[in-house]
Amino acid sequence: MDGKTKAIVAHIFWIGWIITLILNMKDKDELASFYIRQLLGIYLFSLAVTILANIANAPIISAVGGVITLVFWIMSLISSIQGEKKEVPVVGNYFQDWFKSM
């Protein structure tokens, strides 16, 4: 499986991400690794927003965070389909730095 295909498969929720992570461990590809890191950051961002919204009992935080997460995910998916490495705005470079061991 080539890097572009792995990057696209990684966008199929958590299961696709896990499959791509496992496949990429055996045969490392720079594009797939890039999107593995981006998506891990996006998924953790979504989880953090959900937890924060539940603690604060603020559905508006959940709604805004959900929209931001969806926009980031769509931007990431489009870039992976195009075979380009584009970070999500604002936090994408942090994701690449924080998860560089992946």
- Indicate the pTM of the whole model: 0.86
Q: Which long-range contacts (CB under 8 A, 24 or more apart) does 12-21 make?
A: 14/43, 17/43, 21/102
Structure confidence at residue 27 (pLDDT): 86
For the stretch 23-61, pLDDT in tens is 999 888 899 999 999 999 999 999 999 999 999 988 898
Given a cut of 80, whether residue 15 has pLDDT beyond it is yes
Domains of the chain: which residue ranges?
3-98
